Chains A and B, each alone.
Chain A
Amino acid sequence: GAVVSQHPSWVICKSGTSVKIECRSLDFQATTMFWYRQFPKQSLMLMATSNEGSKATYEQGVEKDKFLINHASLTLSTLTVTSAHPEDSSFYICSANVDRGSGGNQPQHFGDGTRLSIL
């Protein structure tokens, strides 16, 4: 159980293109999903917290107009990298935790990541 699916797994596109990445919780509902960025041989860096039905909360230094997040349902969050440039090339990973209804936190389950390469 607690499977998170991320699509696409790898995308290569030209500079200036906008790229959308989908994150789905397959067998559970997730009010909250998280988007991370990971550089080679480094740990994960939280970019934003995505909340179903409301605006995402961005971490300091993350441009909200550059990285658009939409969490339209309890099983889907999307990250759109707008007007992508080579410096946006990275490994993007989403995660979600199972809503238990108790109000407490739960361990996060991660998707398999999206490798974004901007030429």
Chain B
Amino acid sequence: QKEVEQDPGPLSVPEGAIVSLNCTYSNSAFQYFMWYRQYSRKGPELLMYTYSSGNKEDGRFTAQVDKSSKYISLFIRDSQPSDSATYLCAMLPYYGNNRLAFGKGNQVVVIP
């Protein structure tokens, strides 16, 4: 079983819709939960990160972490064509192994 599972299927939504992305994980030592956005031919950009469980909101973006279920989510409200990108979840323990554990990424296309 991979440490982080992210269904890599592409996602196409109409402009204004809510985009819902999620990842599951198996390593209970993970404490940092990150979402990166990667545009084509660019490096990943840290979109949001959460330490331990809970919700975090930043504008149209909401990240949720449920450590009891080992499940994290990213919601994008009022999606825009500029949100079209690949979204990667990534995780880290607080101490020790500093290698990011990545999901495979979801390609999101917001159709005007």
Instruction: List residues of chain B with CB under 8 Å of any chain A CB.
Output: 32, 34, 36, 41-46, 49, 88, 90, 92-96, 98-100, 102-105
Closest 4 CB pairs of A and B: A110-B43, A113-B43, A112-B43, A107-B49
A108 touches B100 (CB 8 A): yes
Interface residues on A, range: 20 to 34
A43 touches B102 (CB 8 A): yes
A110 touches B95 (CB 8 A): no
State which of B34, B96, B105 has its C-beta within 8 Å of the C-beta of A107. B34
What 1/0 mask marks residues of chain A from 2 to 13 whose CB sits below 8 Å from any chain B CB? 101010000000
Query: Given the complex of chains A and B, what is the CA–CA distance between A46 and B92 in angstroms?
Result: 14
Query: Given the complex of chains A and B, what is the CA–CA distance between A6 and B42 in angstroms?
Result: 11
10 contacting pairs across A/B (C-beta < 8 A): A4-B43, A43-B88, A105-B93, A105-B94, A105-B96, A107-B49, A108-B90, A109-B46, A112-B43, A113-B41
CB closest chain-A residue, reference B107: A41
Query: Given the complex of chains A and B, what is the CA–CA distance between A87 and B100 in angstroms?
Result: 25
B46 touches A44 (CB 8 A): no
Let me know if A101 is at the binding interface, CB within 8 A.
no
State which of A6, A104, A110 has its C-beta within 8 Å of the C-beta of B36. A110
Interchain nearest-CB distance for A112 vs B (Å)? 5
Query: Besides the contacts A46-B100, A93-B43, A107-B92, what 8 more A-B pairs have beta carbons closer than 8 Å?
Result: A4-B43, A44-B88, A105-B32, A105-B98, A110-B43, A110-B46, A113-B42, A115-B41
Query: Given the complex of chains A and B, what is the CA–CA distance between A104 and B52 in angstroms?
Result: 14
